[in-house]
Structure 1
């Protein structure tokens, strides 16, 4: 019962397919693992452990739980030219590369056509759910900031690229036939442009020309949308000139982009150029998305995990528009979707889709035993790490995401993304997680609301070179009033330091206040544009523009050196937080 939407189905049939999918979770998951084991029965990896027995119980008893380090030698053998059946009976058609900005190292993960089909399925079902909740969502166009990263190759000639790049270059994207694949303001040529700066400019130019048709503004991640607005701030005058003269800027050298954008520009339009100028010339850019694209019904991007830090910035730019965080997927697998797209960004949970892969869950903080349960057996309120078994050759693979069960849609569990495993700061015996840091900085951000300052990006590290060691947070700030020079208030920022500490964990506060084994928290304010420079560094190391996420806890010494060279001022908490 591995259900797929029929693209020719009507609304009622699609709804029934979704209901069947989420009611029959156990049956679908059992069929999924049985099929994966049957298809891959003769692979070297499975035979090593199962010796010809491929029932679910034997699989659970004999296949080990693995991390990337365990499977890396098998992946590298295929990358170097050995047949795919080392791990997968289906051909490995390429490799995805994780961003590497969270855990510090990029991972090479196997990919086959099943993965691309799952992405297509997820896009379809997400679009269907959006249409159920937002009237008129399908009656216009999406201004979608989509990009590719040029692929590299392995020694055997297989392509290595971002998962999104594979999808955008596949027939699944090129041949969009479903009435639930929303029309975009940007032609495919702009998405496939190899220069991300040219692509960003052309996305904006096409979106501005078609502003009345735009019903949603979209990107993979919240950080990408924020960067798009920052890019618009820098280039709006040039964009207006292009619209006024019906001419594309000469530095747009990609021929395919120039041709398709020129066609969309049409005739000179000084009236539209003047209107855009009037909006962009205003003192504040609050609500700029609604002002430039007046028929926009919602903003769509991922705002969970590391992306939560951008929620307030997006709310400032989008005013009262809903911010929709629809899907949950990674380089390892497609996981699920948000069945309640109009919920608050802070309340997003993802319903796992049972026909994407076989999912197991490792209970977090289980002291006495390694407790692993199936998808249908997770318990409300409990925290789990996901294990994935896929057609592409990952078996009981630890993804590294920590999730909490928040509810159920029919029989399909819903999960809140909590944090990445092992992404934390520590000076002494305390462990401060990514989730705790994000929450603490969110409270400190509230201190800024009464001022003209807004926090645009941040990252942290534990400085153990001092005695005692202390937490350092790099902040990039900007003025809400774009005509004002950035003015820093010492008292305000000192209060921000204290507010962060006040909202960290009990053990941190005790070590900081009573025992003195942790020094005062420090905020280092960096020059505008510094975090773009950090992003460019990671991209130069192989990260994808569309995948890039500013790490909450920074581990790269080179990236830290970049930040340090751009520090403007330093502030310290002027008193220890209450220990309890």
Structure 2
């Protein structure tokens, strides 16, 4: 639905952005009309609309659905039935979601046209080069020979010598106002052969090697998610000595055997460079890795990664390693559709809002209200409203209708309206609209858990410890049941033993409980309904093992997000096998003041 324009022309890009946001309502109506008229003959729409394809009939007769409601149609296409049961154009690929938020990967239909629309809004920088870490995921095919890929794999597969694929974004090197946005071409520093290597370990090693050899040319670094960029930094921490040896001798390590990696790295590792190796070794061997990114890549202007929602917990470590580099979160998208862009990329990570692009899909919203006191479902008397009718300060779950065959499909995310850019709303990504923990009447959502852990981990800082990652579960093996948090800890000081005092962890347990809602805290009274919260510290690398488990089941390394609650028995066994200490809350959190206030 975007008009034709030259994406290399920043004035043309700005004009399009201004137009689609100013005329948000008209464009949304046009998008819906185009989707319905184009797909009028599909089995799905005919079944509900009975020949009436106007907006009013759409609103009245089409149900709001989840993936489970739609799965049978996807399965039929995967098993060989025609794409026209849901869409008028061929489904060229089924995008596989990460599977870590909902537990099971979903298959999302995508047409070639929809893919082209999304490509105009991804990333780039005109000055210098980018060291952005992406990894190919093993793909499969359905019975009907439709490729099943992650979105990142789709992008990487599009980058071939015959198909010059250009990525664009807002340039973070400039101080951009809401009305002065430019889109600039990006040049990636490592060859596409390395990024498309199917062996993630070899790919990561060689991408880092390319980046270190060309350290002076790197203007920005990053990865799709904050967590994946930190995994790269941890990998660098384990392999910097070997990387230095490669640079010093001019030869790559013998365990790098992949032909694509060898071909890609040969363009840069052509001669010994002991001087460069010495510079890198000097920085990496220092006691603290604070500002290691800035020290290794002195001309870098920013770190780019998604840092909203559950990724926000990684911001302190990104800032620690970045040494003052801006942390930029550029866009909000999903396998279902691209949703919005950050028109103020240099804002603080905690202030990131995404401006909706009204031409990308037809957007509706369910208002989310947490009725936690009564323990009810968060969607109380849901009313579906249009994009332009959302209200500032309110929380919503987006419902999308796309050109690729999704109709009134719930994304499961929670977005908070922060304002408007012209007539298009701006949203802050809050998290997933999902209860992650519940024992009795309590319902703890992802946002609640993240906020509680954020408060508790502040108690670690005076002792030079940091929380690397965490997840949770409910333990019903004893009565009453209780919350269990798995924490992987690290230190800002090199080689320091990760052994915080028990009383520190016990206070962390209590702080988490104090930060949860009154229903939880009331349930904790005298340990009658909910038992004391437990923190289990796991050994270093435990969450890498957890990631490897999910990757082995089809999750993409680039798209992987640590699940905030684990129910899979095999995954729990991995975590339990790595536990090195256990601590419980020794105090009962207060609740009376809140109860008195709520009863008025």
Q: Same fold (TM over 0.5)?
A: yes
Paired residue for 1:168? 156
**How many angstroms apart in 1 are the aligned matches of 2:341 and 2:423?**
14
Equivalent pair of 1:444/1:497 in contact (CA under 8 Å): yes
Give the corresponding residue for 2:469: 457
Question: 2:25 maps to what in 1?
Answer: 26
Distance (Å, rounded) in 2 between the aligned partners of 1:19 and 1:321:
29
What is the match of residue 133 of structure 1?
none
Deviation per CA, 1:223-252, whole angstroms, max 9, x where unpaired? Answer: 111000000011101100111111111111
Q: What is the CA distance between 1:52 and its match in structure 2?
A: 2.1
Whole-Å separation in 1 of the counterparts to 2:92 and 2:353 = 32
Report how many residues are paired: 568
- 1:148 aligns to 2:136 (yes or no): yes
- Note if 1:550 corresponds to 2:562: yes
* TM-superposed deviation, 1:91: 0.2
Once the two structures are superposed, what CA deviation does each residue of 1:122-153 show, in whole Å capped at 9, x if it has no partner? Answer: 116xx5xxxxxxxxx53111111011102111
2:572 corresponds in structure 1 to 560
Aligned to 1:132: none
Q: Report the CA distance shift for 1:460/1:203 in structure 2 as closer, same or farther (over 3 A).
A: same
Structure 1 window deviating more from structure 2 (523-532 vs 168-177): it is 168-177
Are positions 1:66 and 2:65 aligned together?
Answer: yes
Partner of 1:111: 110
CA distance in 1 between counterparts of 2:484 and 2:404 reads 41
Counterpart in 2 of 1:486? 498
Which residue does 2:180 correspond to in 1?
none
Name the residue aligned to 2:405: 393
Find out whether 1:45 has 2:44 as its counterpart.
yes
Conserved in 2, the CA contact under 8 Å of 1:3 and 1:21?
Answer: no
Alignment match, 2:268: 264
Kindly indicate whether residue 157 of structure 2 is the aligned counterpart of residue 157 of structure 1.
no
Conserved? CA contact 2:388–2:423, under 8 Å: yes
Is the 2:110–2:404 Cα contact (8 Å) retained in structure 1?
yes
Match of 2:586 in 1: 574
Residue 17 of structure 1, CA deviation:
2.1
The answer (yes or no) to whether the contact 1:525–1:567 under 8 Å persists in 2 is: yes
TM-score normalized with structure 1 length? 0.95
How far is the alpha carbon of 1:364 from its aligned partner?
2.0
**1:320 is paired with a residue of what secondary structure?**
coil
1:240 alignment partner in structure 2: 244
Alignment correspondent of 2:84 = 85
More displaced stretch, 73-82 vs 486-495: 486-495
Asked if structure 2 preserves the Cα contact closer than 8 Å seen for 1:386 and 1:400, the reply is yes
**What are structure 2's unaligned runs of at least 5 residues?**
169-182, 370-377, 595-600
Query: What secondary structure is seen at the aligned counterpart in 2 of 1:449?
Result: helix
Relative to structure 1, is the Cα distance of residues 328 and 574 closer, same or farther in structure 2, using a 3 angstrom cutoff?
A: same
Deviation at 1:172, TM superposition (A): 8.7
Aligned match of 2:205:
201
2:226 maps to: 222
> Is the CA contact (8 Å cut-off) linking 1:103 and 1:423 kept in structure 2?
no
- Residue in structure 1 matched with residue 373 of structure 2 by the alignment: none
Length-normalised TM-score, structure 2: 0.92
Deviation digits for residues 503-526 of structure 1, max 9, x if unmatched?
A: 111211122135632111110001
| CA pair 357-540 structure 1, distance change in 2 beyond 3 A | same
In 2, the alpha carbon distance for the partners of 1:223 and 1:210 equals: 24
Cα separation, 2, equivalents of 1:464 and 1:419 = 26
Distance 1:86 1:119, change over 3 A: same
Displacement of 1:487 after TM fit?
Answer: 2.6
Tell me the SS of whatever aligns to 1:310.
helix
Q: CA deviation at 1:98?
A: 1.1
Partner of 2:372: none
1:406 corresponds, among 374, 394, 418, to 418
Give, in whole Å, the separation in 1 of the partners of 2:58 and 2:557.
38
For residues 210-231 of structure 1, give each alpha carbon's deviation from its aligned partner in whole angstroms, at most 9, with x where no partner exists.
Answer: 1111111110000111000000
Q: How far off its partner does 1:86 sit?
A: 0.7
Whether contact under 8 Å (2:368, 2:380) holds in the other structure is: no
Q: Structure 1: how far apart are the matches of 2:160 and 2:482?
A: 50
The CA RMSD over aligned residues, in Å, is 1.7
Q: Are 2:295 and 1:291 aligned? A: yes
| Aligned residues of 1:349 and 1:406 also touching (Cα < 8 A) | yes
Q: Which residue of 2 aligns with 1:189?
A: 193
Secondary structure of the structure 2 residue equivalent to 1:239: helix
Name the CA distance, whole Å, in 1 between partners of 2:571 and 2:306: 24
**Structure 1 residue 119: deviation in Å?**
2.4
**Which has the higher mean CA deviation after the structures are superposed, 511-520 or 234-243?**
511-520
**Offset at residue 500 of structure 1 (A):** 1.1
Q: 2:357 aligns with which of 353, 359, 376?
A: 353
Give yes or no for contact 2:8–2:184 (8 Å, CA) kept in 1.
Answer: no
2:178: which partner in 1?
none
The 5 A counterparts of 1:129-140 are 138-140=126-128
Superimposed CA distance per residue, residues 397-440 of structure 1 (whole angstroms, 9 cap, x where no aligned partner): 11111111111111110111122122421111011111011111
1:116–1:172 contact (8 Å) kept in structure 2: no
Which stretch shifts more, 320-329 or 340-349? 340-349
Q: Is the contact made by 1:99 and 1:548 (CA closer than 8 Å) also made in structure 2?
A: yes
1:528 aligns with 2:540: yes
1:439 to 437, 446, 451: 451
Question: How far apart are the structure 2 equivalents of 1:4 and 1:412?
Answer: 21
What is the rounded CA distance, in whole Å, between the counterparts of 2:194 and 2:478 in structure 1? 49
Q: Deviations over 1:139-184 (max 9, x none)?
A: 1111110111021111111111101101210159951357823111
